[in-house]
A and B are shown apart, each in its own frame.
Chain A
Amino acid sequence: MKLLVPVKRVVDYNVKVRVKADGTGVETANVKMSMNPFDEIAVEEAVRLKEKGVATEIVAVSAGPAACQEQIRTALAMGADRGILIEHDGVLEPLAVAKLLKAVVAKESPDLVILGKQAIDDDMNATGQMLAALLGWPQGTYISKVEAADGGLKITREVDGGLEMLQLRLPAIVTTDLRLNEPRYASLPNIMKARKKPIETVKPADLGVDVSPRLTVVKVEEPPKRQAGKKVGSVQELVEKLRNEAKVI
């Protein structure tokens, strides 16, 4: 089985972002960037499928500026075989990314694409579902388990109220949830080896995809600030305040 794993370069999850003073977006200059955490989980799952002999080749793809090479290298160091950078400097919305990935799928013919469920910068939770739609493939979103079964995939999804099990035909799209696995750290030898693995660079135009955004950002603002309240000295005081001051119990 051949796997495609899209990985996004995002502001590291530990960074508390600041809204730019002019309200055009958030400050991303001189901020630590990393692979989207859900994509690390996707790469890890791909590598495990390869270790189990289910997968034969893993291709990591990232769309964005040239610096996305770093995230592709991380995927290669974790165990992906080669990378594709779709180089583009402007905004890429999920629909545009899905179209780019569709074009890559047409060239690479993977059996399974494993994406993260959500990019922690735009919080869209959309690209995997959109790619599945454009390809006419089944989608298994928010998965916490995946196994090859009956010529397809058996997946477990995290849904409201609990878990759900689906059987998907191949080729298919899945998106990872937090509890699918715990991603490994790349070892130093593997980081060295990854430097020699190939990364191909293409442009959206080479793939024949129009990536013009559909959304215009009018403004970006700070959310209303919450004031820290007071510390109470005892349980009695807390309950008294909740009853008589806040009137919530």
Chain B
Amino acid sequence: MAVLVLVDHDGSAVTQPTRSTVAAAQKLGEVHALVLGAAAAAQAAAQLPGVTKVLHSDAAQYAHGLAEPIAALLVALAPGYSHLLAPASAGGKNVMPRAAALLDVQVLSDISGVVDADTFVRPIYAGNAMATVTSADAKKVITVRAASFDPVPASGGSASIEAAPAAEDPGLAQFLGAEIVKSERPELTAARIVVSGGRAMGSAENFHIIESVADKLGAAVGASRAAVDAGYAPNDHQVGQTGKIVAPDLYIAVGISGAIQHLAGMKDSKVIVAINKDEEAPIFQVADYGLVGDLFKVMPEFEAEIGKK
């Protein structure tokens, strides 16, 4: 039986976490992709290497990613699939457990490894332990930790595109609107470099110090919970156990102490830099390069130095 991947997209391109999910799905069987929304996104999904079929629907009920109609559709499609996967994005985490319960299956959340068709690795306790679990359910419903799987390329495949069957819309919730910040910067979970600021930034204005360095490096901007709670950075910038999980080539933590909940979101980065005025800060225990100093002095110097060739 094939495996089905629920695709996240921006209306045209497929997100990088989705491409990582396809990589995880390939370990389980032939991959089909479900694309809800713009036809351009279905065409993008059809080009993913390893995807052999794209199911597409642009029905209005799926336009805003509401969990209720999408879970109903997944349940309708489930008989044809052994595994249903989605990236562990805000959308995937919202929809997949609902679909799993409708199928009477225990969802496998945020897997970081595929051992075999029934056995998966998933982090627990903020990644302080890795559990290998075997599911006895006939069908597996899974969300995938994108940072743990190298994404498949965006092109190279040529899948057929078919219309997805229509499922009933339970009509339980209504989309009122959204405040989505469109940024020119790379997406946090896909970026090669991430620069994050913590409570020490002190204000939203000062947070521009982080953004400015990020722009010089072509990096994404992240934040600790404390910085988000204080309103210095938007909520979707939060890196950590209950925010986004990132594993870039370079992670620069500025004025972040390194609480376990923050480390949970970034400790798999390849190279970690910590800039903190407290030499005892726990962040230094995971940092490859630590610089003890006042960020307000260090960061302008850092920005100037990376500007020099």
Q: Which A positions have Cβ atoms within 8 angstroms of B?
A: 11, 13, 16-17, 19, 25-26, 38, 93-95, 98, 117-118, 120-134, 136-142, 144, 154, 157-169, 172, 177-179, 213-223, 226, 228-232, 234-236, 238-239, 241-242, 246, 248-249
Contact = CB atoms under 8 A, between A and B. Distances in A.
A229 B288 contact: yes
A197 B290 CA distance: 53
B38 interface: no
Nearest to B120: A215
A78 to B, nearest CB: 20
B87 to A, nearest CB: 10
B114 to A, nearest CB: 13
Contacts of B60: none
A217 B131 contact: yes
B78 interface: no
Interface of B: 64, 66-68, 71, 89-91, 93-102, 104-110, 119, 122-137, 170, 172-182, 193, 217, 225, 228-229, 234-236, 241-242, 249-250, 260-261, 267, 270-273, 279, 284-292, 298, 301-302, 305-306
B172 A162 contact: no
A167 B176 contact: yes
Could you say which of B71, B124, B178, B306 has the most chain A C-beta atoms within 10 Å of its C-beta? B124
A171 to B, nearest CB: 10
A217 B174 CA distance: 39
Nearest to B275: A238
Contacts of B288: 229-230, 246
A138 B98 CA distance: 10
Given A163-B178, A238-B289, A249-B306, A141 B193 contact: no
A229 B191 CA distance: 23
Could you say which of B136, B172, B290 has the most chain A C-beta atoms within 10 Å of its C-beta? B172
B105 A168 contact: no
Contacts of B249: 248
Contact of A159 (B109, B236, B290): B236
Contacts of B173: 138-140, 166-169
22 contacts: A11-B125, A26-B125, A94-B106, A95-B106, A130-B101, A131-B101, A133-B71, A133-B101, A133-B102, A134-B102, A139-B98, A141-B93, A157-B90, A165-B175, A169-B173, A218-B134, A219-B132, A223-B130, A223-B267, A229-B290, A230-B289, A231-B279
Given A19-B129, A136-B170, A238 B273 contact: yes
A136 to B, nearest CB: 7
A222 B106 CA distance: 24
A178 B242 contact: yes
Contact of B235 (A126, A163, A230): A163
A-B pairs with lowest CB-CB distance, top 3: A138-B172, A229-B288, A130-B101
Contact of B126 (A123, A124, A125, A133): A123
Contacts of A220: 124, 129-132
Given A95-B104, A232-B290, 19 more contacts: A13-B260, A117-B242, A123-B110, A123-B123, A123-B241, A130-B107, A133-B101, A139-B173, A164-B64, A165-B175, A166-B173, A167-B176, A179-B229, A214-B137, A221-B132, A222-B128, A235-B301, A236-B305, A249-B250
